[in-house]
Amino acid sequence: MAKYDYDVLVIGAGPGGYVAAIRAAQLGLKTACAESRETLGGTCLNVGCIPSKAMLHASEYFDAASNGTMKEMGIEVTPKLNLDAMHAQRRDAVKGLTGGIEFLFKKNKVDWKKGHATFQDAHTVKVGDETVTAKNVIIATGSSVTPLPGVEVDNEKQVVVDSTGALELKAVPKKMVVIGGGVIGLELGSVWRRLGAEVIVVEYLDKLLPGMDDDVRKEAAKISKKQGMELRLSTKVTGCTVDGSKATLTLEPAAGGDEETLEADCVLVSIGRRPNTEGLGLDAIGLEVNKRGQIETDHDFRTKVDGVWAIGDVVPGPMLAHKAEDEGIACAENIAGQTGIVNHDIIPGVVYTWPEFAGVGLTQDEAVEKLGDKAKVKVGKFPMMANSRAKTNHEPDGFVKIIAEAESDRVLGVWAIASVAGTMIAQATQAMEFGATSEDIAYTCHAHPTHSEAIKEAAMAVQGKPIHI
Ligand code: FAD
Ligand code: NAI
């Protein structure tokens, strides 16, 4: 009889966990996946990437019809919002995709263990009332919203909400205050702004979107303001009181100073996410978390405890679905004795606003710091205004910026603001994965007319020779 029930037990069925489970099963390992949610797919499919994109996409159409963009193209319409129907198509997308993972589990013979998982020892996990043993356990428990002291989230009441509550608002708020000008703040803030809310973003730092290139961060502020968002940068929220359907926030300059108050019908708390390790029983296996609450692993995703692995939002690195997926595949391959690798230096990031903000690799500041001298870094930039497709499509905002090492011409980072920047960044990511120089990109034939030609032109600009500007 086998010593363990399973070769692999994955805890968590988000993009990290469900992908790891499928890959492990594909490699011939007997696999189970524990999930405490009613449906598979984790944060991403249930309350993250997918529902937010459903609302972003639908609200983009509404905005194009109401802000004059359609009229510019000869289409005169007066849009009428049916918010219930918009929510219904979002729920439908989520249902279809989470159901799809259930189908993939069945197809690949991955057993879904329903319930909360807690370690008893390194190879024994209690899932609900069942005890499951496995030779290898992958922790893929993901992350949850970071709370803000003094600002209590109550998604039921819909006055102070987190991202999950902000996806479900039953009516368009008259005035919405978004705390945190990061990815969630800009994405969900722009959904409700497009649907008619007055949106004020309160951000602690002096710029939006920490982690992105400075030019993108500055331009993101300009574009957000142009689209009607009010930005309160270098400002912190110190408290919040709720009276019926109104919230009153107290704000202060981040550096300290006079307090002021701000009223809102809805407050979105989006100041980051933190790893899920509570109730997992890490004590029982002697595994500690780091200062940020994350589980540390080695390059192969092994934790310090033999037979226990970890991937996704619960480990260090950007909290992104595709990073979690790639780690899931690599971890399963390592368990199966293959060589699973993730290149953490080349993970693209995309903010799905309109236009989209995207980037991969180093920012200009990081490149200068890494090479130790400004002169060792070359930069080429090309505005979307000069890209024939973007111009024709009435999409004037944005640019592509390529950062290369001066001596070798090797591309170190690519940043883009464009309606389809998230799609464009894939080519830059692949080029960097293959160690491309800016010249390699400049001499690659790009179809015309496409937004991607701006990447070619930015690469030509690194050499100082763009054609269309
Ligand atoms: P998760 O997806 O969080 O999954 C972990 C799962 O584990 C959960 O389902 C949880 O219920 C389960 N679990 C936890 N503990 C236990 C336990 N003890 N027992 C059993 N089950 C447990 N990323 C992108 O790349 N693109 C986007 O467009 C994007 N949009 C987002 C929008 C929003 C509003 C949010 C909140 C996030 C978004 N993200 C996006 C981030 C993305 O959702 C996460 O990076 C990704 O889901 C992480 O995957 P994961 O598998 O590590 O964890
Ligand atoms: P974030 O880290 O992107 O942004 C949080 C922002 O809040 C930061 O700008 C920070 O300076 C600010 N902040 C922190 N404390 C504050 C305070 N007290 N007052 C005012 N501002 C404060 O986190 P966010 O937006 O919550 O997203 C969480 C994670 O989810 C991100 O790390 C991202 O990786 C992931 N995500 C990814 C998406 C995508 O890939 N398109 C979409 C949505 C989320």
Return the ligand 1 atom nearest residue 13 CA.
6
Q: Residues 179-209, buried b or exposed e (16+ Cβ, 10 A)?
A: bbbbbbbbbbbbbbbbbbbbbbbbbbbebbb
Q: Using a 6 Å cutoff on CB, does residue 358 contact ligand 2?
A: no
- Cβ-in-10-Å burial (0-12, 13-18, 19+) of 104 comes to middle
pLDDT above 80: residue 35: yes
3-state class (DSSP) for residue 154: coil
Residue carrying the six token digits 């399973």: 6
Q: Residue 168: its pLDDT value, please?
A: 98
3-class secondary structure per residue, 341-380? CCCCCCCCEEECCCCEEEEEECCHHHHHHHHCCHHHEEEE
Query: Is 16 close to ligand 2, i.e. is its CB under 6 Å away?
Result: no
pLDDT digits (tens, 9 = 90+) for 223-272: 999 999 999 999 999 999 999 999 999 999 999 999 999 999 999 999 99
Pocket test for ligand 1, best of 44, 144, 169 (most atoms within 8 A of CB): 44
Q: Which of 43, 148, 184, 217 to mutate to test the pocket of ligand 2 (most atoms within 8 A of CB)?
A: 184
Across the range 448-467, mean pLDDT stands at 96
Q: Using omega within 30 degrees of 0 as the cis cutoff, is the peptide bond preceding 355 cis?
A: yes
**2: confidence class by pLDDT, cuts 50, 70, 90:** confident
Pocket of ligand 1 (CB under 6 A): 11-17, 34-37, 42-44, 48-49, 52, 116-117, 140-143, 163, 184, 276, 279-280, 312-313, 319-322, 324, 352
φ/ψ of residue 91, rounded to 5: -65, -35
54 ligand 2 Cβ < 6 A? no
Q: 371: which 2 tokens?
A: 């090479």
pLDDT the model gives residue 1? 61
Looking at residue 345, its pLDDT comes to: 98
Catalytic residues: 448
Residue 459 pLDDT class (50, 70, 90 cuts): very high
Share of the chain above pLDDT 90, in %: 99
Is the shortest distance between the CB of 318 and ligand 2 below 6 Å? yes
- 350-391 pLDDT, tens digit per residue, is 999 999 999 999 999 999 999 999 999 999 999 999 999 999
The answer to whether residue 25 scores a pLDDT higher than 90 is yes
What's the whole-number average pLDDT of the chain? 97
| Ligand 2: residue whose CA is nearest its atom 41 | 351
Nearest to 343 by CA among 425, 229, 430: 430
Measuring from atom 41 of ligand 1, which residue has the nearest CA?
320
Most informative mutation of 40, 112, 119, 141 for ligand 1 (most atoms within 8 A of CB): 141
Nearest CA to ligand 1 atom 27: 49
Which pLDDT tens digit goes with each residue over 277-316? 999 999 999 999 999 999 999 999 999 999 999 999 999 9
Q: What is the pTM of this model?
A: 0.98
Number of H helices, E strands in the chain: 15, 22
Cis omega (within 30 of 0) on the bond before 318?
A: no
Distance 47 CA to ligand 1 centre (A): 8
128-165 residue pLDDT tens? 999 999 999 999 999 999 999 999 999 999 999 999 99
How many Å lie between the centroid of ligand 1 and the Cα of residue 142? Answer: 5
- Confirm or reject: Cβ of 205 under 6 Å from ligand 2: yes
Residue nearest to atom 32 of ligand 1 (CA): 48
Q: What is the whole-number distance in angstroms between the Cα of residue 305 and the centre of ligand 1?
A: 23
Strands (E) in 254-337, as ranges, are 260-264, 266-269, 273-275, 308-310
pLDDT in tens, 114-126: 999 999 999 999 9
Instruction: Compute the distance from residue 179 Cα to the ligand 2 centre, in Å.
Output: 9
Pick the atom of ligand 2 nearest to 202's CA.
20
